[in-house]
């Protein structure tokens, strides 16, 4: 085995992975990256530009070594709201600022930012901070694998 395994193919197959690669949102957006799997194997990602990795995909190298991608836990701002209008208005204002959002039923998450937190509080919603995996929406102009 070489010092650096090159991972070039993304699949969503049901095959069993040989290892896990836990990455933050920032690193899951990179098409060229050197990293270390959770098991300590050095890997290099060589993916098509603009392709964002989602938790659950499997990367495969030429030697058929398979690596499962997992979203790392990160500090996120969490907003919970049962008022559909306030929820929609908050999503609109954050989206208008091109903020990556994870939208769940009555809850939204974004990478913690005190300026954005202040804006959301100004819209009448409470913000908490939690350490959770962050898997934002792909966006209207990106593929929805």
Residue 138 falls inside a structural domain: no
| 3-class SS shares of the chain: helix, strand, coil, % to 5 | 20, 35, 45
Residue 28 falls inside a structural domain: yes
Please return the burial class of 72, using the count of CB atoms within 10 Å of its CB with bins 0-12, 13-18 and 19+.
middle
Query: Which residue, among 75, 2, 5, has the nearest Cα to 36 in the 3D structure?
Result: 5
- The mean pLDDT of 92-121, rounded to a whole number, is 96
Q: Are the CB atoms for 93 and 123 separated by under 8 Å?
A: yes
Q: Which of 49-58, 66-75, 98-107, 121-130 has the lowest mean pLDDT?
A: 49-58
Residue 120 falls inside a structural domain: yes
Question: Residue 84 in 3-state DSSP?
Answer: helix
Question: The CATH number of the domain where 67 resides is what?
Answer: 2.60.260.20
Counting the structural domains of the chain, the total is 2
pLDDT in tens, 49-88: 877 888 988 888 878 888 999 999 999 999 999 999 999 9
Cα 135 from Cα 28, distance rounded (Å): 10
Is 140's pLDDT higher than 60? Answer: no
Q: Which of 11-20, 39-48, 57-66 has the lowest mean pLDDT?
A: 11-20
Is 30's pLDDT higher than 80? Answer: yes
Question: The CATH number of the domain where 119 resides is what?
Answer: 3.30.70.790
Residue 143 falls inside a structural domain: no
| Residues 60, 117 within the same domain | no
Which residues make Cβ contacts (< 8 Å) with residue 26, sequence separation at least 6?
Answer: none
End of a domain among 52, 71, 90?
Answer: 71
| Residues 78, 127 within the same domain | yes
Is 96's pLDDT higher than 50? Answer: yes
- The mean pLDDT of 23-47, rounded to a whole number, is 91
What is the residue range of 52's domain? Answer: 5-71
Q: Express as a percent the part of the chain with pLDDT over 70.
A: 88
- The mean pLDDT of 89-104, rounded to a whole number, is 95
Residue 140 falls inside a structural domain: no
């Amino acid at each position: 085995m070489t010092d650096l395994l090159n991972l070039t193919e993304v699949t969503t197959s049901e095959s069993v992975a040989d290892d896990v690669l836990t990455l933050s949102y920032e690193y899951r957006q990179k098409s060229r990256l050197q990293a270390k799997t959770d098991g300590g194997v050095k890997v290099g990602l060589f993916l098509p530009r603009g392709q964002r990795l989602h938790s659950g995909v499997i990367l495969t190298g030429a030697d058929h070594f398979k690596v499962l991608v997992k979203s790392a836990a990160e500090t996120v701002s969490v907003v919970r709201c049962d008022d559909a209008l306030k929820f929609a208005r908050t999503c609109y204002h954050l989206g208008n600022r091109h903020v990556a959002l994870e939208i769940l039923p009555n809850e939204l998450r974004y990478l913690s930012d005190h300026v954005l937190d202040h804006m959301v509080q100004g819209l009448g919603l409470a913000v908490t901070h939690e350490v959770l995996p962050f898997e934002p929406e792909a966006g209207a102009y990106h593929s929805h694998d």
